[in-house]
Amino acid sequence: MNAGVVRTLAGKLGELALTLFLASVVIFSAVLLTPGDPVAALAGGIRPTPELIEAIRAQHHLDDPVWQQYLHWVGGVLTGDLGTSFVYKTDVAALIAPRIGVTVLLVLYTAVLIAIFGIGSGVVAATRGPRADRAVLIGTSIGMAMPTFVVAILLIWVFARVLGWFPVYGAGEGFLDSLYHLTLPAISLAVLYIAFFSRITRGAVVGQLHAEHVDTARVRGIPRSQIFRRHVFLNASPQILAVSGVTVAGLFATSAIAEQAFGIGGLGSLLTEAAARKDLPVVQVISLLLVVVFVVLNAVADIAIAVIDPDSAKPRRNA
């Protein structure tokens, strides 16, 4: 590990702390500012009298100044107390724990699909002649125009209902069964990104194919496959990695759409439901979790880029 990488790592940690702080402030205020009184969620199932509403507000510090509520919440999160769900009256940690696995698996599964088919088709488009290029272009245009929920509906209809190859809903039990259950949801989430990654990869690879060092390598008689691996793809990869972090982090948020369509009880569906029901502690913790994932994955991508291309970690010259 060289100095550049270490510097990057230290910088990333500082960035992480700052981002988390700012995000926690933004999330906290945003959730408070949205319409609807959280008392409605807290009073679920009971007939709220004015006295009771007052008691609920006091118990949950809802009448305290916003900054005090914020400190109270952050203090809890830092000491490992994520709070209690307004709706389910259980620890937020207990609500999130059983759902986190399925969402992580779904996101990883989707990421693998994107890597294989998105990057793969991009490379094909860039290297296998104009016909392949045209075919991939058409395919990716269609893919980009398909919203996730439309893909989900199509997939359910064709592969679950008509052909009966895959289950319609649920997350399954055990690893293999879960993979089986998550196949259609993962594909429906992946389609858009496969198209996106295909385009990015194609652009990056084509750029490298015409670079000087590649021409030089060719002139030196280095085998094509080796040129591609060592010179073209390796040099094209920072561009792909740069968007990977953002994409995978974004998948955690968009997974809600697939989770809803396929009846999967994951983090995304919990977040959507909690937001609608004004279950503030749950919304806050999941949002913060998403920010952490986002920052961490971007840091990982940046470090990976720094390893591949140490120059990128140094202060930018003329790009």
Which residue stretch of 137-145, 223-231, 239-247, 256-264 sits at the interface with other proteins (rule: CB under 8 A)?
256-264
- Of 27, 136, 151, 156, which one interacts with other proteins (CB under 8 A)? 156
For the chain, give the longest Cα–Cα distance.
85
- What does the per-residue mask of binding to other proteins show for 185-224, with x meaning CB under 8 A? ----------------------------------------
71 vs 153 by CB, closer to other proteins: 153
Whole-number minimum distance, CB 306 to other proteins, in Å? 38
- Of 178, 183, 237, 260, which one interacts with other proteins (CB under 8 A)? 260
100 vs 300 by CB, closer to other proteins: 100
Find out whether 143 and 179 touch, Cβ atoms under 8 Å. no
For residue 170, give both structure tokens.
């649920």
- Within 267-296, the residues that bind other proteins by CB under 8 A are 269-270, 273, 276-278
What is the distance between the alpha carbons of residues 149 and 115, in angstroms, rounded to a whole number?
21
Contacts of 82 (CB under 8 A, 6+ apart): 76, 91, 92, 93, 96, 281, 285
- Of 7, 61, 89, 218, which one interacts with other proteins (CB under 8 A)? 89
Instruction: Please identify which residue in the block is written with the tokens 């008689």.
Output: 221
Whole-number minimum distance, CB 31 to other proteins, in Å? 12
- Within 117-136, the residues that bind other proteins by CB under 8 A are none
- Of 16, 23, 52, 115, which one interacts with other proteins (CB under 8 A)? 52
Which residue stretch of 8-16, 45-53, 69-77, 240-248 sits at the interface with other proteins (rule: CB under 8 A)?
45-53
Q: How far is CA 3 from CA 262, 291, 300, in A?
A: 47, 28, 16
What is the distance between the alpha carbons of residues 186 and 255, in angstroms, rounded to a whole number?
9
Coil vs helix vs strand at 33? helix
Q: Which of 229, 155, 241, 162 is nearest to 197 (CA)?
A: 241
What is the distance between the alpha carbons of residues 257 and 317, in angstroms, rounded to a whole number?
41
What is the distance between the alpha carbons of residues 51 and 53, in angstroms, rounded to a whole number?
5
Q: Which residues bind other proteins (CB under 8 A)?
A: 35-41, 43-49, 52-53, 87-91, 94-95, 98-99, 153, 156-157, 160-161, 164, 167-171, 260-263, 265-266, 269-270, 273, 276-278
